[in-house]
Structure formats: structure tokens, C-alpha cells
Amino acid sequence: QIQLMESGRGVVQPGGSLRLSCTASGFPFTTYGIHWVRQAPGKGLEWLSFIRFDRSNEYYADSVQGRFTISRDNSKKMVYLQMNRLRAEDTAVYYCAEDANWALHFWGQGAQVTVSS
């Protein structure tokens, strides 16, 4: 079955960096785009970034533009989210999700990122 799983969770100091990974299985990974979405404690979902299946384009929300970078390695069926210059407000559960028909279909279980000194 289709599965996505995030890894790389952790605690990082303000101003620090962290890279999340999303491992996919059960679907033709090289033909689907992947999103990253986060949810701060007690808050709603926030779309962060999207990468097309062929890496031809990457897109970002204003809140993370210039600090976060999405990338993918189709040979490994993995997508990454490199997060730099982290702030306390970046503390959240981060989800990856498969894109189809301009919607987020299958979701991972999420990875907790805590930014704290």
C-alpha cells in the first residue's frame, strides 16, 4: 500500500538547521509531486512547499521562502526539506504528502520539530 514516512525529527536551537526526509513506497514515486505541510501546536495546517515529480519546479510559502529548500532523489524515492535559520515559530509537526489532482492525497504520520534554546 501507499506509504510515506518522515524522519529527521529533533530539537534545534534558534538559528540552527535541520533536514527532514520523506520516504515513499507503494506508488510510482517518480511520477508524483510531493508537498510539505506543518502544524504548530494547537494550530491549523500550513502548506509549506511543493516539488514537481521531475524536480522541474519548487514552490514555497512566503513564511519559509529563502529559509527552507525542498529537494528530491527519485533513485532513492525520497524528498527532503532542508530548514535553515530556524525560529521558535517553526516548531511544529511536519508532514509530507503525495500530490495528485492538485490535492494532497496520502500523508505521512509526521515528524516533530522543536526549535528551542
Partner 1 sequence: QTVVTQEPSLSVSPGGTVTLTCGLTFGSVSTKYSPSWYQQTPGQAPRTLIYTTNTRSSGVPDRFSGSILGNKAALTITGAQADDESDYYCVLYMGDGVWVFGGGTKLTVL
Among 34, 81, 92, 104, binds partner 1 (CB under 8 A): 104
53 contacts partner 1 (rule: CB under 8 A):
no
Residue type, 41: P
CB of 101 to partner 1, least distance (A): 5
CA distances from 111 to 40, 85, 114 (A): 12, 18, 10
DSSP reduced 3-state for 15: coil
108 contacts partner 1 (rule: CB under 8 A):
yes
Alpha-carbon distance of 47 to 50, in angstroms, equals 9
Length of the chain: 117
CB of 16 to partner 1, least distance (A): 26
Cβ atoms 80, 72 nearer than 8 A: yes
The three three-digit cell numbers of residue 100, written as one number: 495528485
For the window 64-83, what string marks contact with partner 1 as x by the rule CB under 8 A?
--------------------
27 contacts partner 1 (rule: CB under 8 A):
no
CB of 98 to partner 1, least distance (A): 10
> Which residues of this chain interact with partner 1, rule CB under 8 A?
35, 37, 44-47, 50, 57-59, 61-62, 95, 97, 100-110
